[in-house]
């Protein structure tokens, strides 16, 4: 219970004998008043300290420190997308730091110096970390500052590897999972914990003896619940069993041969006829439906015990979309039943056709 300044001061005055004058302006009153103010401030500090004993009240670096000290886990910080650019026309010197960008202003910079001619390729890294750098193919085509001799560039393949930092909520959830599922250094939870510590890993499934005795397969999806990129797969492999021979040079115990893989993408196509509110617009409603269905598929991807995409849940998510009054003729992957998921498949929203 919060203390009150007047109550604290009165308790102090009550503890002083009646032979002293305790009214305003006399020493007994003034000295105890000053001390009561200090006690009240100390009580506030104690209340703040008590709040910090609860993990739910911690954030940022305080949360990092608590979890590192109690479980040895570290937050997954932002990573930067990378891409390979090809010189389309011209030729010349490109220096590390030269800028390239998309039409929308997502900037990349050259990683190293080099001299290039038409057809040559070079590597670039996103200027800003996070998923914003994961742009599509043939989008990095602008040069904010002209580079002598270089006429045009493009990225033939999408930029990949950019992931947002682990949020407080995500980091806290990983801590609780680690706390509730003991890691003894060789059980399935150990492999899950190792893989989940790598930026770019969203969820993990472990397949013991997948390739024979003393083998372990670690299958990954990225934070968007899509197949993980090669950089992420390589990073997890290097952490757990870099030589893929069970020699104990990674986190895995000696004798356990670990192979890191990623999930197979299973596209979920949805088609339906919808009745929408009078003020709604079909294009906006379609985008909102896509967002709701994407959220649902990410919830179930690689989730424990989930073996199918629920037709009923697709129905529910469409009806729950703002602007949708009703729908009919719903098909999911061309049918009207649940879509089975194999152990190594992750559901990803495909075409959504609403009329």
pLDDT for res 2: 61
pLDDT for res 24: 84
> Which parts of the chain register pLDDT below 70?
1-2
pLDDT for res 117: 96
Alpha helices by DSSP H, listed for the chain, are 5-14, 27-51, 60-71, 168-180, 188-196, 230-240, 282-300, 311-319
The pTM score is 0.78
Measured from the Cβ of residue 122, the count of other Cβ atoms closer than 10 Å reads 19
Residue 151 and residue 90 in contact, taking contact as beta carbons nearer than 8 Å = yes
| Tens-digit pLDDT profile for residues 149-188 | 999 999 999 999 999 999 999 999 999 999 999 889 899 9
Residues 232, 224: Cα–Cα separation, whole Å: 13
pLDDT for res 127: 96
- CA-closest candidate to residue 220, choices 188, 263, 190: 263
pLDDT for res 262: 97
């Amino acid at each position: 219970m919060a203390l009150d300044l007047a109550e604290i001061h009165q308790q102090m005055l009550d503890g002083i004998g009646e032979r002293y004058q305790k009214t305003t302006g006399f020493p007994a009153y003034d000295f105890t008043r000053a001390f009561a103010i200090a006690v009240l401030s100390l009580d506030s500090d104690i209340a703040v300290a008590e709040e910090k004993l609860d993990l739910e009240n911690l954030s940022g670096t305080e949360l990092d420190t608590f979890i590192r000290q109690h479980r040895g886990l570290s937050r997954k910080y932002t990573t930067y997308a990378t891409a390979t650019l090809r010189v389309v026309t011209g030729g010349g010197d490109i220096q590390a730091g030269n800028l390239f960008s998309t039409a929308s202003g997502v900037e990349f910079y050259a990683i190293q110096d080099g001299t290039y001619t038409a057809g040559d390729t070079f590597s670039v890294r996103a200027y800003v970390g996070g998923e914003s750098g994961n742009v599509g193919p043939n989008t990095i085509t602008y040069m904010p500052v002209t580079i002598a001799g270089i006429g045009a560039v493009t990225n033939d393949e999408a930029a990949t590897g950019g992931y947002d930092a682990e949020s407080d909520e995500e980091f806290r959830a990983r801590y609780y999972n680690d706390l509730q599922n003991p890691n003894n250094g060789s059980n399935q939870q150990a492999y899950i914990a190792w893989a989940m510590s790598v930026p770019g890993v969203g969820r993990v499934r472990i397949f013991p003896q997948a390739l024979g005795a003393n083998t372990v397969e670690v299958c990954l999806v990225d934070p968007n619940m899509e197949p993980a990129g090669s950089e992420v797969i390589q990073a997890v492999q290097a952490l757990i069993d870099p030589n893929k021979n069970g020699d104990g040079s990674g986190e895995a115990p000696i004798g356990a041969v670990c192979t890191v893989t990623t999930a197979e993408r299973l596209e979920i196509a949805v088609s339906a006829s919808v009745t929408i509110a009078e003020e709604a617009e079909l294009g906006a409603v379609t985008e909102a439906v896509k967002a709701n269905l994407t959220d649902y598929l990410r919830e179930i991807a690689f989730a424990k015990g989930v073996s199918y995409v629920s037709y009923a849940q697709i129905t529910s998510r469409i009806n729950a979309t703002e602007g949708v009054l009703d729908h009919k003729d719903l098909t999911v992957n061309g049918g009207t039943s649940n879509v089975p998921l194999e152990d190594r498949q992750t559901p990803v929203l495909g075409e959504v056709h609403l009329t």
